[in-house]
């Protein structure tokens, strides 16, 4: 029978991106600029326009990541006061005399990296993706199934408006380290437990950090103290899992005293601490990062120890 004249042709997207976080949204901007027709499926409502708070989470961007963001038209959209340059890096080993000092002047760059508030990156990505007519977003939406034919892949999605099927030539899985779609596709992950847990929080030191990032190695794991605006620092304290409950149970003053003991007095006395959040640390690697019409990027493809602050930076390299 002939097709009804009023029937609209099915949309076949160039790329379906599962996961609208920072890596997935960055990829959407890159593909949108390339003129591709893209759909982004994200399970959680976008809330990047929330007001910043003392406990706003941050991420460390490398100089190379800034260049990628500049190329994609994202960097200039990030709120300037949410960006703190890292001009130098101080690396030490607790109990040992040796240290290393890196400086942006020696590298011939304006900054070695940048500490940026997540909510500001998210807001810039929402603004940038909204500038493209060829990027569509399904949010909130979850993928309930995937099917393949000879020319495309189809995602069955559950949305607030009901079930919806999206068809595309390529599916990019960017929904994080606990990717359900990756598992459904049989793309197995190998997990290596670091036997460490990261306690992260904002702290206020007694001395000006002067845009220096500190990496201090200790017998229980590395401790990073990164510069932020408003005289604050972002602290990532990796410790043994059996010490976490004790550290979380301490009062703010007791916690700062323990942190002082591990870090030293290079920033004077720590005066204030924000909410303490906990993240178990493990390395995830997949045996294969692609299969027919499917590619994994970001944490869905690899997660590493935060000691070098390379998690999101590696994800941006996937995008590039």
Residue 92 near residue 223, CB atoms below 8 Å: no
Proportion of the chain above pLDDT 70, given as a percent: 94
Residue 19: how many other CB atoms lie within 10 Å = 26
As a whole number, mean pLDDT of residues 125-146 equals 94
Output the CA–CA distances (angstroms, integers) from residue 125 to 19, 28, 73, 89, 296, in the order listed. Answer: 13, 9, 10, 28, 20
Report, as an integer, the average pLDDT of 258-263: 95
Q: List where CATH 3.30.9.10 sits in the chain.
A: 87-111+194-281
Q: Which two tokens stand for residue 218?
A: 């200790």
C-beta separation of 40 from 25 below 8 A: yes
What tokens appear for 272 in the block? 């204030």
pLDDT of residue 95: 83
User: Class of 87-111+194-281 per CATH?
Assistant: alpha beta
Asked if pLDDT for residue 208 goes beyond 90, the answer is: yes
Identify the residue whose tokens are 């690396």: 91
Above 80 in pLDDT, residue 9? no
Residue span(s) of the chain under CATH 3.50.50.60 come to 12-80+119-190+282-319
pLDDT digits (tens, 9 = 90+) for 14-41: 999 999 999 999 999 999 999 999 999 9
- What's residue 232's pLDDT? 95
Residue 71: per-residue pLDDT = 96
Average pLDDT over residues 199-208: 96
Q: Which residues pair with 83 in a beta bridge?
A: 116
pLDDT of 53: 42
Question: At CA 222, angle to CA 218 and CA 227, rounded to 5?
Answer: 120
CATH code of the domain made up of 12-80+119-190+282-319: 3.50.50.60
pLDDT at 129 over 90: yes
- Local structure of 251: helix, strand or coil: coil
β-strands 212-218, 221-227 pairing: antiparallel
| Euclidean distance between CA atoms 259 and 241, whole angstroms | 16
225-237: average pLDDT: 95
Alpha-carbon gap, residue 250 to 248, rounded angstroms: 6
With 90 as the cut, is the pLDDT of residue 98 above it?
Answer: no
Is the model's pLDDT at 55 over the cut of 80?
A: no
What pLDDT band is residue 160 in, cutting at 50, 70 and 90? confident
Q: Considering only CA atoms, give the Rg of the chain.
A: 22
| Other CB atoms within 10 A of residue 196 CB | 22
Q: Are 144 and 154 in contact (CB under 8 A)?
A: no
Q: Which residue has the higher pLDDT, 215 or 307?
A: 215
Mean pLDDT of the chain: 91
Residue with tokens 């991106």: 17
Read off the pLDDT of each residue in 176-196 and give the average, rounded to a whole number.
Answer: 90
pLDDT of residue 66: 96
**What number is the average pLDDT over the span 125-132?**
95
220 class by beta-carbon count within 10 Å (0-12 exposed, 13-18 middle, 19+ buried): middle
Residue 14 makes CB contacts below 8 A (sequence gap 6+) with 31, 36, 37, 38, 168, 169, 170
Query: Residues of the chain with pLDDT > 90: what percent?
Result: 79
pLDDT of residue 161: 87
Query: Is the confidence at residue 74, as pLDDT, over 60?
Result: yes
- The yes-or-no verdict on residue 264 having pLDDT over 60 is yes
The whole-number pLDDT of residue 40 equals 96
Residues 6+ apart with CB under 8 A from 270: 203, 204, 205, 206, 256, 259, 260, 263
pLDDT, position 304:
87
Cα separation of 90 and 269, whole Å? 18
pLDDT score recorded for residue 46: 72
């Amino acid at each position: 029978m002939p097709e009804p004249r009023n029937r609209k042709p099915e949309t076949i997207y160039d790329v379906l991106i599962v996961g609208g976080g920072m890596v997935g949204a960055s990829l959407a901007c890159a593909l949108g600029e390339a003129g591709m027709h893209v759909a982004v499926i994200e399970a959680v409502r976008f809330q990047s326009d929330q007001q910043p708070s003392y406990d706003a989470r941050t991420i460390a961007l490398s100089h190379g990541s800034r260049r990628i963001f500049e190329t994609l038209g994202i960097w200039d959209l990030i709120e300037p006061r949410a960006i703190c340059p890292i001009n130098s890096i101080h690396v030490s080993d607790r109990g040992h005399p040796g240290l290393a000092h890196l400086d942006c002047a020696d590298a011939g760059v304006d900054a070695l990296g940048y500490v940026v508030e997540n909510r500001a990156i998210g807001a810039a990505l929402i603004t940038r993706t909204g500038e493209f007519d060829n990027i569509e977003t399904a949010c909130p939406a979850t993928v309930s199934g995937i099917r393949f034919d000879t020319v495309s892949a189809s995602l069955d999605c559950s949305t607030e408006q009901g079930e919806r099927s999206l068809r595309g030539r390529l599916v990019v899985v960017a929904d994080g380290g606990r990717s359900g779609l990756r598992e459904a596709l049989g793309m197995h992950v190998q997990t290596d437990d670091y036997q460490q847990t990261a306690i992260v929080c904002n702290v206020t030191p007694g001395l000006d950090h002067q845009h220096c990032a500190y990496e201090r190695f200790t017998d229980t794991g590395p401790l990073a103290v990164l510069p932020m605006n408003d005289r604050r620092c972002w602290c990532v304290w990796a410790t043994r899992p059996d010490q976490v409950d004790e550290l979380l149970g301490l009062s703010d003053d007791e916690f700062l005293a323990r942190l002082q003991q591990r870090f030293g007095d290079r920033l004077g006395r720590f005066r204030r601490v924000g909410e303490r959040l906990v993240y178990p640390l493990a390395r995830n690697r997949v045996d294969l990062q692609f299969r027919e019409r499917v590619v994994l990027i970001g944490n869905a493809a690899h997660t590493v120890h935060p000691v070098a602050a390379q998690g999101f930076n590696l994800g941006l390299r996937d995008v590039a």
